[in-house]
């Protein structure tokens, strides 16, 4: 609805359109799968560093060229 001075007013009970891009079902599924893969990769990296630190012991800090 437009007022006399040209402003657009929205009734209080009208749902406001959400700003930004709305993902489709397929895009949401793909994003979820990618997020899980990234989380798993980061988890593997953490475990890798933890186990390799145990394997190398104090030698973990020795890096001869």
Partner 1 sequence: MSVTLTRVEPSIAGVGDYIELMKPRVMSLVVFTALVGLLIAPGHVHPMAAFTALLCIAVGAGAAGALNMWYDADIDARMTRTAARPIPAGQVAPGEALAFGLMLAVGSVVVLGLLINIIAAALLAVTIAFYVVVYTMWLKRRTPQNIVIGGAAGALPPVIGWVAATGSIAVEPVLLFAIIFFWTPPHFWALSLYRTEDYVRAGIPMLPVVAGARETRRQILLYTLLLAPLGVAPWLLGYAGLSYGVVALATGAIMIALALRVRVEEDRAHTASKQLFGFSILYLFLLFAMLLVDHASGGLLSHCAA
- Quick check: 64 binds partner 1 (CB under 8 A)? yes
- Quick check: 42 binds partner 1 (CB under 8 A)? no
| Residue found by looking up tokens 């990234």 in the block | 38
**Cα gap 47→29, rounded to integer Å:** 27
Of 9, 15, 55, 58, which one interacts with partner 1 (CB under 8 A)?
55
Distance set, CA 48 to CA 25, 39, 53, 54, 64 (Å): 35, 14, 8, 10, 21
- Quick check: 46 binds partner 1 (CB under 8 A)? no
Question: Which residues bind to partner 1, rule: CB under 8 A?
Answer: 21, 23-24, 26-27, 30-31, 33-34, 36-37, 45, 48-49, 51-52, 55-56, 63-65
């Amino acid at each position: 609805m437009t007022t006399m001075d040209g402003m657009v007013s929205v009734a209080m009970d009208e749902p406001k359109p959400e700003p930004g891009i709305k993902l489709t079902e397929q895009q949401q599924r793909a994003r979820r799968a990618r997020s899980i893969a990234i989380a798993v990769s980061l988890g593997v990296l953490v475990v890798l560093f933890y186990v390799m630190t145990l394997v190398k012991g104090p030698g973990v800090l020795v890096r001869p060229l």
